[in-house]
């Protein structure tokens, strides 16, 4: 997850698929992120030769996991929308079949069936889209808090190195957050590339 290259010991596609499957369930996703924090924090604490690399790896890993969660919820949204359309088709035929034999005013009844089923589908689609938006917002908010905490920890562990004038861009108030945010965005892009998203 943290590697800037797609090719590595683990198959990146399989890693993405496993991450997506775990990310579909919030109860499973939380332990995954908690367990991932152990090697991330250990890397931050032990990487002394090139401290900037541990901040970069932390951001990339969080970005990769965030993108896996996003893709999982997006897939679920697409499947739910398809199911809603399928339900609409079945309800349309069932309601239409129940009503039309008893009604002499076929056109008005048919229009009524059309309106009812279209409204049902619209409401269901709105609900599904709202849920997906809430999931994506929660995932992003969680990432923001997570990478801010990791940046704070990194700065605490590498304050002397960061305040040296030579490595620019790692200040406490701004630089570390910018660096880890950019790394997380790179992790997002890597995950998109692994999944074949343009």
In 24-170, which ranges are continuous DSSP H helix?
26-46, 51-99, 106-157, 159-163
Least confident of 7-16, 61-70, 105-114: 105-114
Please give the mean pLDDT across all residues of the chain.
79
pLDDT at site 10: 75
**In this predicted model, what pLDDT tens digit does every residue of 37-86 receive, in sequence order?**
999 999 999 999 999 999 999 999 999 998 888 888 877 777 777 666 65
Res. 89: pLDDT tops 80: no
**Residue scoring higher pLDDT (162 or 137):** 162
Place 95 in a pLDDT band, splitting at 50, 70 and 90: very low
Structure confidence at residue 49 (pLDDT) = 94
Answer yes or no: are the C-beta atoms of 38 and 130 closer than 8 Å.
no
Residue 93: strand, helix, or coil: helix
The pLDDT score that the predictor gives to residue 5 is 63
Q: Are 90 and 81 in contact (CB under 8 A)?
A: no
**What is the model's pLDDT at position 16?**
87
pTM: 0.73
Query: What residue spans define the domains of the chain?
Result: 12-195
Instruction: Give pLDDT, residue 162.
Output: 93
């Amino acid at each position: 997850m943290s590697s800037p290259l797609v090719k590595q010991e683990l198959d990146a596609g399989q890693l993405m698929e496993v991450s997506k499957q775990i990310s579909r369930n919030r109860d499973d996703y939380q332990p995954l992120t908690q367990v991932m924090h152990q090697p991330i924090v250990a890397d931050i604490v032990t990487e002394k030769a090139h401290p900037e690399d541990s901040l970069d790896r932390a951001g990339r890993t969080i970005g990769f996991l965030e993108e896996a969660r996003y893709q999982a919820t997006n897939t679920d949204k697409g499947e739910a929308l398809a199911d809603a359309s399928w339900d609409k088709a079945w309800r349309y035929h069932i309601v239409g079949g129940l009503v039309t034999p008893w009604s002499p005013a076929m056109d008005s009844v048919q229009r009524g069936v059309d309106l009812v089923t279209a409204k049902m589908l619209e409401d269901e689609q709105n609900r599904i889209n709202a849920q997906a938006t809430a999931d994506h917002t929660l995932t992003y908010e969680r990432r923001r808090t997570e990478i801010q905490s990791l940046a704070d920890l990194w700065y605490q562990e590498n304050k002397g190195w960061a305040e040296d004038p030579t490595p620019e861009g790692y200040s406490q108030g701004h630089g570390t957050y910018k660096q880890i945010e950019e790394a997380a965005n790179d992790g997002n892009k890597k995950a998109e590339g692994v999944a074949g998203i343009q």
